[in-house]
Structure 1
C-alpha cells in the first residue's frame, strides 16, 4: 500500500458528508470527510464508529433514554414504548477521539470540520436511517 496524505486528500475535494477511504486495517475502514451542519440520526447495528476531530467544531448528539440521561442506565433510545429519547451532546475538541458503540443512535453536528472515522468495512454512513438522501459510498483514494 502506498502512503496516503490526509492533508492532501482533504485538500483534493470540497463536498461535505462524502467520505474518502484512506486505509483499511483488517476488517476496518479508515475514512476522512469534510462535514458541516447536521447529519441524520442513525445507528450502525453491526459496528462501533470512531470519530477523530482533525479541525473545526464537532458535536456528536447521542440518543439516550430519559432514564439514561438521568444516570439510571437502561437500553438504547428510539423505540419500544419506553420513554422518549433524550439527547446527550458530546462536544469534541480538535485532537479528541470518541467511539459511538454499535447500535447507539447518533448524529454529528459540525461547523466546518474535518474528521477521520474508523468503522467496519461495509458500514453505510447513514446506518439504519430511513432518510437515505445523504447516503454516500466512500471514494477510495488509495486507487487514485
Structure 2
C-alpha cells in the first residue's frame, strides 16, 4: 500500500492524448482516473452504472437528450445509469472520473479506450 498522495496535476502532465482515461488509483472496486478531453466524444450510455465527472480545469458540457449541463473547475455531475450522454469540451479540459473497474468509457467494450495505469 502506497502512503504517497496522488498529485493529479503531475499525473496529467505525463500524457497528451485526448479521450484516453488513465487510472491513478482505486478504491472499493472503483477506478480513479484522469482524462484530457477536447472536442466531442460519442453519444453513449452505461446501463449498469452512473457516470461521475469532476472538472479539474477548463469547461465540460455534458449533452443529454433532455438538456445540457456545463461544468467548470471544481464542479461535479453524475449522469444517472442508462442516460444517453455526450461530453464536449471546446478547449482542452482536465477531468477526474470515478467508475467501477472495467467500465467501458463508451458503454461498449468493443469501442472503448484501453485504460492504462500511470
Using the size of structure 1 for normalisation, the TM-score is 0.75
2:22 & 2:16 partners in 1: Cα distance? 12
1:124 & 1:26 partners in 2: Cα distance? 18
Partner residue, 1:89 = 68
C-alpha distance after superposition, 1:46-91 (max 9, x if no partner): 1111100000111000123xxxxxxxxxxxxxxxxxxxxxxx1101
Match of residue 100, structure 1, among 75, 79, 85: 79
Query: Which runs of no fewer than 5 residues in structure 1 stay unpaired?
Result: 65-87
How big is the shift at 1:94?
A: 0.9
Match of residue 136, structure 1, among 109, 113, 118: 113
Question: Aligned ranges for residues 20-99 of structure 1 at < 5 Å?
Answer: 20-64=22-66, 88-99=67-78
Quick check: 1:109 aligned with 2:88?
yes
Q: CA RMSD in A?
A: 1.5
Does the CA-based 8 Å contact 1:42-1:129 persist in structure 2? no
Structure 1 residues 26, 138: CA separation in 2 closer, same or farther (over 3 Å shift)? same
2:68 & 2:12 partners in 1: Cα distance? 26
Secondary structure of 2:17's counterpart equals: coil
Q: Which stretches of structure 1, 4 residues or longer, exceed 4 Å deviation after superposition?
A: none
Using the size of structure 2 for normalisation, the TM-score is 0.91
Partner residue, 1:125 = 105
Does the CA-based 8 Å contact 1:48-1:120 persist in structure 2? no
Q: Which has the higher helix share?
A: 1
Does the CA-based 8 Å contact 1:36-1:112 persist in structure 2? yes
1:100 & 1:140 partners in 2: Cα distance? 24
